[in-house]
Amino acid sequence: MTRKKVKLAFITNDSARKATFKKRKKGLMKKVSELSTLCGIDAWAIIYNPYENQPEVWPNTMGVQCMLAEFKRMPEMEQSKKMVNQESFIRQMIAKASEQQKKQSKENREKEMTEHLKEINKRIEAFKKEASTSSSTADVSQVAAPPPVEQKPVVELGLEGMQRTQTEWFNDCMNNNISEQQIGFGHGDEMIMPNFSDNHNTGV
C-alpha cells in the first residue's frame, strides 16, 4: 500500500495480481525469517507459487521439504472422502505410500530429514514430563491447560498455490530431483541465523 491506499479486494488484472503476489510473498518470507531470528523460533516456510512449478522453501533444508510435502499429500487423498472418516483416510494413505516406498530410503537424506524433527520431539518430551505431573492422560479433552512452560517454540509455515499436485512434488522430493535453489529470499544486512547452518541469501 503505497502511492495509493490499495483497496483490499481481489485484483482482477492478471499481471497486477501476479506482481503483487510476488512482492508480498517475498515480504512474508522475510517476516517469517525475522520472527524466527528475533524470537528464537525454529521456523520454516514453503510456498507453492502458483506462477512457478517448483515451490520455494526456506530454509532450504531437504528434511523440511520432504516433511511438509508429506503433510501436503493428505488433502489430495481426501478427495471425495470426508476428512472426519479418519480410517478410510488413512487406508488411502497406505495405498499411496506403498507405491511410493520402493523409491525412497536414501541414507544421506535421513540425517537432514530428522534434523528438525529431533528438535521438536525433544520439546514434546520435555513438555510431556511437565504435563504428566498435573493430570491424567486418559481423557485429554478434560485435561486442564498445562502450566505455561517457557520453551523455544516451533514455527511452521506453508503457503501453497496449486500448480503441480502435491504428490508430484513429493515424488520429485523422494527421487532427489530437487533443483539446487528455488529460494528467492534476500533478507537484510544484519540477519543472524542461529538455528540453521544451511541458511543462505539469494534474493538479488
Partner DNA sequence: AGATCTATATATAACAA
Partner DNA sequence: TTTGTTATATATAGATC
The nearest distance, CB 31 to DNA, in angstroms, is: 6
Please give the Cα distance from 155 to 163 (Å, whole number).
25
Strand partners, 42: 154
Q: Is 2 in the site for DNA (CB under 7 A)?
A: yes
Q: Which of residues 185-204 bind a second copy (CB under 8 A)?
A: 187-188, 190-192, 194
**Lateral strand order in the sheet of 154-160:** 56-58, 42-48, 154-160
Element (H, E) at 169: helix 166-174
Strands (E), 49-103: 56-58
95 binds, among a second copy, DNA, none (CB under 5 to 8 A by kind): none
Which of 26, 155, 184, 202 is the binder for a second copy (CB under 8 A)?
155
Q: Which of residues 157-196 bind DNA (CB under 7 A)?
A: 188
Asked if 157 and 71 touch (Cβ cutoff 8 Å), the reply is: no
Which of 4, 13, 87, 197 is the binder for a second copy (CB under 8 A)?
87
180 binds, among DNA, a second copy, none (CB under 5 to 8 A by kind): none
Q: Is 97 in the site for a second copy (CB under 8 A)?
A: yes
Please give the Cα distance from 196 to 56 (Å, whole number).
17
- What phi and psi values does residue 115 have, to the nearest 5 degrees? -50, -55
- Cβ closer to DNA: 26 or 123? 26
Q: Which of residues 6-45 bind a second copy (CB under 8 A)?
A: 6-11, 14, 17, 20-21, 24-25, 27-28, 31-32, 34-35, 37-41, 43
Q: Is 184 in the site for a second copy (CB under 8 A)?
A: no
SS3 47: strand
Which of 24, 103, 111, 129 is the binder for DNA (CB under 7 A)?
24
Please give the Cα distance from 154 to 123 (Å, whole number).
9
- Cβ closer to a second copy: 31 or 181? 31
Strands (E), 38-181: 42-48, 56-58, 154-160
9 binds, among DNA, a second copy, none (CB under 5 to 8 A by kind): a second copy
